[in-house]
Amino acid sequence: MPDEAYRTAGVEVASSAAELWASVDVIARVRPPELGEVEHLRAGQTLISFFYPGQNTELLEQVRATGANVIAMDIEALEDAGLLSRQVAQNEPLLGEVESGEE
């Protein structure tokens, strides 16, 4: 969709990636940030992405130095990948009941 379609719908479209990173408190993206993008992060900002911190230690340290928060997502390979898709499709709990801690 062209930017104008978003503007017509009332969305504010940033003129550059740097402007976008500077104007938001939460960034959600699929891929980890590239090294050049980390410089746009600021203290208190939150990045949600497939970050793979165990595999990206240099990137993790660079993000840590900015003071930004990271919510790292990952996917674990399962022996029976079909089990996961069936449970999600049927809306079944994957890990059992969550305990509230209340008695």
Question: Is residue 8 assigned to a domain?
Answer: no
Question: Is residue 41 assigned to a domain?
Answer: yes
Question: Is residue 64 assigned to a domain?
Answer: yes
Beta bridge partners, 12, equal: none
Beta bridge partners, 73, equal: 50
Q: Quote the CA–CA distance of 86 and 84 in Å, as a whole number.
A: 5
User: What rounded mean pLDDT belongs to the chain?
Assistant: 78
Six-digit token string for 61? 């340290």
Question: Is residue 99 assigned to a domain?
Answer: no
The tens digit of pLDDT for each residue in 21-67 reads 999 999 998 888 887 888 999 999 999 988 888 888 888 889 899 99
Listed residue (62, 17, 10) closest to 35, CA to CA: 62
Q: Quote the CA–CA distance of 88 and 94 in Å, as a whole number.
A: 8
Question: Is residue 7 assigned to a domain?
Answer: no
